[in-house]
Structure 1
Amino acid sequence: MYLVTIGLNHRTAPVGFREKLSFTEDSLPKHLDKLTANGIVRGCVILSTCNRTEIYAAVLDVDKGLTKIREYLTKCCRCDRSELNNYLYTYTLFDVIPHLFRVVSGLDSMILGETQILGQVKKAYQVACEYGATNRVLNTLFQQAIAVGKRVRTETMINRNAVSISYAAVELARQIFEGLDGRTVLVLGAGKMSELTAKHLVANGVESVIVSNRSAVKAEALAKQFGGRAVRFDALHDHMTAVDIIITATAATHYILEKQDLEKVMQMRSGKKIFIIDIAVPRDVNPAVAEIPGVNLFDIDELQHVVDKNLDERKKEANKAEKIIKEEIDEFWKWLSMQFVTPTIASLKNRGEEIRQKEMQKAYNRLGNITEREKKIISSMTNSIVNQLLHDPVMELKKYALTKQGHLYTEILQNLFNLDVPKEKQFAAQSQEHNHAVGDE
């Protein structure tokens, strides 16, 4: 039983192509059924997010398994095989493990250390498990991967410190006000960046949203998203006295907020501080505004500086995460290696015992009427011969099992001794036992 992964992500494929291979949660059982239909793929988990689609599979033959998955993906995206191959990446055997561990830890994400991927991996595994599409190898792999993702986020700070402009604005606002619950935000402009920043602020406790834009229709549409209200652009100064945060991202070619404007506002606020996020280019707010007591002004370059600093911190934490992943990889590889060799060792010993019993019976027949004591001596001697003969091959196989070539040595030994190792029955039974256990939980 071998592990393989085929997929594409934000680094290998544009969004237009990723959309072609995006699977909804409701459709996963159908795809799992088709992928495992002919027995080439013995177990399967499909991970599909906005930034990646990956097929994790346990197969009896690597080449046949990869061919089956590629053919299926080609049908799904309705494109030429050669075009699809331009965007796909493939991991096999040992390389599958570190890849999944890095994915679930947020090290392979568009935003380093993001936390959403852990829940997405858990959900993908849960769907596959409930549908009965997994087996013992995949179950153990994904259970350990999820544990790795949790450990990385517990033992490092990789998911701390904002690494996007909008999140950086939220973090700064939280620091300035020591919390965002009950705060009011005024959004100037109705573009994507101001919308995204307002969305994050509301998600973090901001209570009221006021939107002002030169287009009243756009202002009302954006305000409606947050259950807020729109105000006239020429009257925005009147509303600045009651807000805590201002997000400005208009398309104006000149300053729309001057120092004298904010001085009047701050006089009416009786010194109550205000946080202004100017993410417009050209800037909407005159930099001199920052000189006014109580005004905290950040433009996009300052926010980017915060993001870069935070990203450096995350990269440092990522190094710690890589060490954790290496430890976990070693543990899983030891377990997986034993799954390759244990059935082979058992089959080799069974073959030795079959030969011993057969030859011992021949000896008994030739010797005629011998005592039970003599039979025991013969049995003990032949048992010792077989054990000593098989000792070195078994020990060497166990040693090689801990290397990347372990599966090759296993196959060689099977071929040399003409061993019949019941892989399919064994893993099918193990998978069925596990799925019943999961259902009981």
Structure 2
Amino acid sequence: MNISMVGIDYNTANIEDREHFSLTFEKQLEIAKVIKERYHSSGCIIVSTCNRTEIWFSELGTSELECFSQLVIGENAKETMDSFCVCRQGDEAVNYLMELGCGIHSQIFGEDQILTQLKQAMQQAREYQYIDSVLECLFRIAITAAKKVKTNIQIAKSNTSLPHAIVEQLEKEQGDLTGKSCLVIGNGEMGRLMAQNLLEKKCEVWMTLRQYKKSKAIIPEGSGVVLYDDRYEHIAAMDYIFSATKSHHFTINKNTFENKRRKGKNYYLIDMAIPRDIEPSVEELDDVRVFNMDYFSQEAKGRENVLEETRELLSEYVDEFKQWYQFRNLASTVDGISDIVSEITDAKLTKVYKSIDISKEQQEQLQSNVQMATKKAVSKIIFGLRNVLQVDQCEEVLKALEQSAMYCVK
């Protein structure tokens, strides 16, 4: 299979290094265009999240590492390739994607956000037309498989989101969070999840909101609102500050924070973003602790039984994709046979159509429906050969059916 991927994730790069690989929406479109036009890949999908940056290829005519180096890393950072980048091809890539969707390669074991992120990556590639049928099918099957796993296997013992893991860890280290004053910077999905988890722990929560988003924002019930531009004016009273934005500049910088904080008060700042939202030097201040998402990682140790059960279920979907991949080149032949059978059926029913007391428009609609149903039925039967014959045997049968169909229309 000419399917491959290259990328970095939290296993190969720390947060300081990962943030250099974070791709904006505009950068992703630029990279996809070059991959299609310069490197002549049949299709690509780009997955860029807080914990990973990956490019998926179909029919790539050059080195995956070369693409990643030229388009993501840059000429001046090639020495990082061996330590950061992971390449997977063929079966290894397919198996990895199936597992990735289930969250078993995530920093928070079994988390659900990766499934949404894969859907969004596929939809973006589809919308901007840099996906092909192979990657479309692969990602669609992987997403379906992940949903099946989530329904049938309890991968994690509790909520698997990053915000839940953060709250859980803070409770272990800091004790009961009831009544703690918390500011959540960012009104995206992750920010809202963070606010909801804090509210469930009976914290006093405020969320930042940009002025231009006021009419569209979704604020969790029970949370207060602070305008983003006024965030520093509220910092002094906060115990915990969480930042989860997609901004490429700091939401909290050292100098301003130092001037606005209350001397002698302990502050806990949790940075949930890549690139980082909180200026790293903030941690140099007295009575201030800064955590990034790597601090809240949850390893997969001790989950061997779950992994075995998950991989066994996923193997069915891996086989489904491989079978589709093997037969995809026969699709045009199947379509041709279906079209011929549809034409024959239409011709056989000409007198029947004329004998029915309906309008011309209704007759045309009926003919169209019969033709479509015939095509689908024939295709379904022919593709069913995959379950009883080997690929080479199917090719012989299809060749014979095609010749027979052509003979029938002569």
| TM-score for the superposition, normalised by structure 1 | 0.48
| Alignment-derived partner of residue 178 in structure 2 | 185
| Alignment-derived partner of residue 161 in structure 1 | 158
After superposition, where does 1:289-438 map in structure 2 within 5 Å?
316-339=305-328, 342=330, 398=392
Contact 2:32 2:44 in 1 (8 A): yes
Hey, what's the Cα distance between the residues in 1 that align with 2:132 and 2:118? 17
SS in 1 for 2:147: helix
| Cα offset, 1:69, TM superposition | 1.8
Equivalent residue for 1:70, pick from 44, 68, 71: 68
* Code of the aligned partner of 2:136: N
* Code of the aligned partner of 1:116: Q
After superposition, where does 1:37-76 map in structure 2 within 5 Å?
37-38=37-38, 40-59=40-59, 61=61, 64-66=62-64, 68-73=66-71, 76=73
Contact 1:21 1:73 in 2 (8 A): no
Contact 1:185 1:209 in 2 (8 A): no
Hey, what's the Cα distance between the residues in 2 that align with 1:233 and 1:86? 42
Contact 1:29 1:127 in 2 (8 A): no
Specify whether residues 186 and 315 from structure 1 end up closer, same or farther in structure 2 by C-alpha distance, changes over 3 A only: farther
Equivalent residue for 1:220, pick from 237, 247, 258: 237
Hey, what's the Cα distance between the residues in 1 that align with 2:394 and 2:16? 45
Hey, what's the Cα distance between the residues in 2 that align with 1:53 and 1:225? 23
| Cα offset, 1:343, TM superposition | 8.1
| Cα offset, 1:311, TM superposition | 6.8
| Alignment-derived partner of residue 6 in structure 1 | 6
After superposition, where does 1:21-36 map in structure 2 within 5 Å?
21-36=21-36
Hey, what's the Cα distance between the residues in 2 that align with 1:94 and 1:78? 30
Hey, what's the Cα distance between the residues in 2 that align with 1:198 and 1:343? 47
Equivalent residue for 1:123, pick from 120, 123, 132: 120
Hey, what's the Cα distance between the residues in 2 that align with 1:139 and 1:29? 17
Hey, what's the Cα distance between the residues in 2 that align with 1:108 and 1:186? 35
| Cα offset, 1:166, TM superposition | 3.9
* Code of the aligned partner of 2:178: V
| Alignment-derived partner of residue 17 in structure 1 | 17
SS in 1 for 2:180: strand
SS in 2 for 1:119: helix
Contact 1:153 1:159 in 2 (8 A): no
* Code of the aligned partner of 2:237: E
Specify whether residues 27 and 160 from structure 1 end up closer, same or farther in structure 2 by C-alpha distance, changes over 3 A only: farther
Which runs of 5 or more residues in structure 2 are unaligned? 184-192, 207-232, 244-261, 269-296, 335-388, 396-410
Hey, what's the Cα distance between the residues in 2 that align with 1:95 and 1:204? 41
Hey, what's the Cα distance between the residues in 1 that align with 2:69 and 2:177? 53
Contact 1:113 1:314 in 2 (8 A): no
Equivalent residue for 1:149, pick from 139, 146, 149: 146
* Code of the aligned partner of 1:95: E
Contact 2:21 2:53 in 1 (8 A): yes
* Code of the aligned partner of 2:30: K
| Cα offset, 1:336, TM superposition | 1.0
| Alignment-derived partner of residue 94 in structure 2 | 97
* Code of the aligned partner of 1:59: E
Q: Deviations along 1:98-123, whole A, 9 cap, x unmatched?
A: 11111111011111101110001110
Contact 1:156 1:321 in 2 (8 A): yes
Hey, what's the Cα distance between the residues in 2 that align with 1:82 and 1:184? 45
Residues matched between the structures, number: 256
| Alignment-derived partner of residue 198 in structure 2 | 202
Give identity over the alignment, percent.
22
* Code of the aligned partner of 1:79: N
| Cα offset, 1:65, TM superposition | 4.8
Hey, what's the Cα distance between the residues in 2 that align with 1:66 and 1:48? 16
| Cα offset, 1:21, TM superposition | 1.5
* Code of the aligned partner of 2:392: K
| Alignment-derived partner of residue 135 in structure 2 | 138
Find the structure with the greater CA-based Rg. Answer: 1
The answer as to 2:74 corresponding to 1:85 is no
Specify whether residues 126 and 79 from structure 1 end up closer, same or farther in structure 2 by C-alpha distance, changes over 3 A only: same
Specify whether residues 105 and 219 from structure 1 end up closer, same or farther in structure 2 by C-alpha distance, changes over 3 A only: same
* Code of the aligned partner of 2:310: A
Specify whether residues 54 and 203 from structure 1 end up closer, same or farther in structure 2 by C-alpha distance, changes over 3 A only: farther
Q: Deviations along 1:189-237, whole A, 9 cap, x unmatched?
A: 99xxxxxx98564254736359xxxxx98651447879xxxxx999x9x
* Code of the aligned partner of 1:153: K
Q: Deviations along 1:356-393, whole A, 9 cap, x unmatched?
A: xxxxxxxxxxxxxxxxxxxxxxxxxxxxxxxxxxxxxx
* Code of the aligned partner of 2:155: I
Hey, what's the Cα distance between the residues in 2 that align with 1:169 and 1:40? 47
SS in 1 for 2:178: strand
* Code of the aligned partner of 2:41: V
Contact 2:97 2:142 in 1 (8 A): yes
Q: Deviations along 1:378-423, whole A, 9 cap, x unmatched?
A: xxxxxxxxxxxxxxxxx8763899xxxxxxxxxxxxxxxxxxxxxx
Q: Deviations along 1:410-439, whole A, 9 cap, x unmatched?
A: xxxxxxxxxxxxxxxxxxxxxxxxxxxxxx
Hey, what's the Cα distance between the residues in 2 that align with 1:39 and 1:225? 41
Contact 1:47 1:121 in 2 (8 A): yes
Q: Deviations along 1:160-192, whole A, 9 cap, x unmatched?
A: 4257764437999xxxxxxxxxx99223999xx
* Code of the aligned partner of 1:331: E
| Cα offset, 1:148, TM superposition | 1.2
Hey, what's the Cα distance between the residues in 2 that align with 1:66 and 1:233? 52
Contact 2:22 2:50 in 1 (8 A): yes
Hey, what's the Cα distance between the residues in 1 that align with 2:22 and 2:8? 10
Contact 2:182 2:239 in 1 (8 A): no
SS in 2 for 1:206: coil
* Code of the aligned partner of 1:220: A
SS in 2 for 1:97: helix
| Cα offset, 1:73, TM superposition | 3.5
Hey, what's the Cα distance between the residues in 2 that align with 1:187 and 1:158? 31
The root-mean-square deviation of aligned C-alpha atoms, in Å, is 4.5
* Code of the aligned partner of 2:179: L
